Structure 1
Amino acid sequence: MDHNYTTIPEPISCAGSINSRGLRSSRAMVFAIEQINNSTELLPGIKLGYEIYDSCDSLSVAVHVAFQLSGGLDPVFNTGDKCSKSGMVMGVVGASESTSTISMLRIIGPFNIPQVSHFATCACLSDKQQYPSFFRTIPSDQFQADALAKLVKHFGWTWIGAVRSDSDYGNNGMASFLHAARKEGICVEYSESFSRTHPRSRIQRVADVIRRSTAKVVVAFIPTGDMRILLEELSRKPSPPRQWIGSEAWVTDRDMLRFSFLAGAIGFGIEKSVIPGLRDFLLDLSPSKVAESPLLTMFWEEAFNCRLVKSEKELCQFYTYMILTVVS
Structure 2
Amino acid sequence: FVATCQITLSFKCIRYTLILCVCRIDPRELRFSRAMIFAIEEINNSTELLPGVKLGYQIHDSCASVPVAVHVAFQLANGHDSVFHTADECSQSGTVMAVIGESGSTPSISMSRVIGSFKIPQVDSFVSPYSTCACLSDKKQYPTFFRTIPSDQFQADALAKLVKHFGWTWIGAVRSDSDYGNNGMAAFLEVALREGICVEYSEAFYRTNPRSKIQRVADIIRRFLYDLHMSTSKVVVAFVAIGDMKVLLEELAQEPPPPRQWVGSEAWITEPQLLSYTFCAGAIGVAIQQSVIPGFRDFLLDLSPSEVRGSSVLTEFWEDAFNCSNYTSKRMCNGKEDLTTLQSPYTDTSQLRITNMMYKAVYAIAHAIHNALFQKVNFTLLQTQRLESKEVWQSNTLLN
Structure 1 unaligned spans of 5+: 1-10
Among 318, 333, 341, the residue aligned to 1:322: 341
Matched, 1:155 2:173: no
The residue matched to 1:270 in structure 2 has which SS? coil
Q: Which residue matches 1:3?
A: none
> Is the contact between residue 301 and residue 339 of structure 2 (CA under 8 Å) also seen in structure 1?
no
Question: Partners of 1:30 and 1:13 in 2: how far apart?
Answer: 20
- CA gap 1:223/1:242 in 2 versus in 1, 3 angstroms: same
- 2:157: which partner in 1? 146
Over 3 Å counting, the alpha-carbon distance change for 1:83 and 1:40 in structure 2 is farther
Query: What's the CA shift string for 1:52-111, capped at 9, x where partnerless?
Result: 111112111111111111111324566652644533322110011000100111111101
| Residue 63 of structure 2 corresponds to residue 18 of structure 1 | no
User: Kindly tell me: are residues 87 and 262 of structure 1, through their superposed partners in 2, closer, same or farther at Cα, counting changes over 3 Å?
Assistant: same
Write out aligned runs for 1:161-172 (5 A): 161-172=172-183
In structure 2, distance between residues paired with 1:86 and 1:19 = 30
What's the secondary structure of 1:128's corresponding residue? coil
1:128-154: CA deviation from partner (whole Å, max 9, x where unpaired): 111110010111111111111111122
CA contact (8 A) 2:21 2:61 kept: no
Q: Distance in 1 between matches of 2:94 and 2:337?
A: 40
Identity of aligned residues (%): 66
Structure 2 length as normaliser, TM-score? 0.73
User: Does the 8 Å contact 1:174/1:221 carry over to 2?
Assistant: yes
Alignment of 1:99-178 (within 5 A): 99-119=106-126, 120-178=131-189
Aligned to 1:5: none
**Secondary structure of 1:45 counterpart:** coil
CA apart distance, 1:239: 2.0
Aligned to 2:278: 260
SS at match of 1:30: helix
Indicate conservation of the 8 Å contact 1:159/1:188, yes or no. yes
Q: How many residue pairs align between the two structures?
A: 315
CA displacement at 1:165 relative to structure 2: 0.9
Pairing partner for 2:51 from 44, 52, 55? 44
Could you list the per-position Cα deviations for residues 173-223 of structure 1 after superposition, in whole angstroms to 9, with x for gaps in the alignment?
001111111222211101111122322222211111111113111011111
Distance 1:307 1:80, change over 3 A: closer
Contact 2:301 2:340 (C-alpha < 8 Å) held by counterparts = no
Name 2:190's counterpart in structure 1.
179
Structure-2 residue corresponding to 1:294:
312
Name the SS of the counterpart of 2:342 in structure 1: helix
Change (3 A) 1:153 1:54: same
Query: Which 4+ runs in 1 deviate beyond 3 A?
Result: 75-80, 82-85, 308-314, 321-324
Q: Output the aligned Cα RMSD.
A: 2.4
1:223 is aligned to 241
Greater share of residues in helix: 1
Distance 1:327 1:254, change over 3 A: closer
Residue pair 1:50, 1:78 contacting (<8 A) in 2 also: no
Write the distance in 1 (CA, Å) between the matches of 2:251 and 2:211.
Answer: 9
SS at match of 1:39: coil
Q: Which has the higher contact order (CA 8 A, sep 6+)?
A: 2
C-alpha distance in 1 between matches for 2:76 and 2:258: 49
C-alpha distance after superposition, 1:263-311 (max 9, x if no partner):
2211111112212221211111122222222222222222222225798
- Looking at structure 1, the residues matched to 146 and 313 of structure 2 have their Cα atoms a distance apart, in angstroms, of 26
Q: Does 1:232 align with 2:254?
A: no
- SS of the residue 2:150 aligns to: coil
In the alignment, the residues of structure 2 paired with residue 317 and residue 165 of structure 1 have an alpha-carbon distance, to the nearest angstrom, of 42
Whether the 8 Å CA contact 2:259–2:281 is kept in 1: the answer is: no
Q: Is the 8 A contact 2:160 2:195 kept in 1?
A: yes
Q: Distance in 2 between matches of 1:156 and 1:307?
A: 55
**Letter in structure 1 aligned against 2:170:** W
Asked if 2 retains the 8 angstrom alpha-carbon contact of 1:287 and 1:308, the reply is no
Aligned counterparts of 1:91 and 1:78: Cα–Cα separation in 2: 21
Please tell me whether the aligned partners of residues 20 and 60 of structure 2 are also in contact (alpha carbons under 8 angstroms).
Answer: no
Partner residue in 2 for 1:74 = 81
Gaps of 5+ in 2: 1-18, 225-230, 350-400
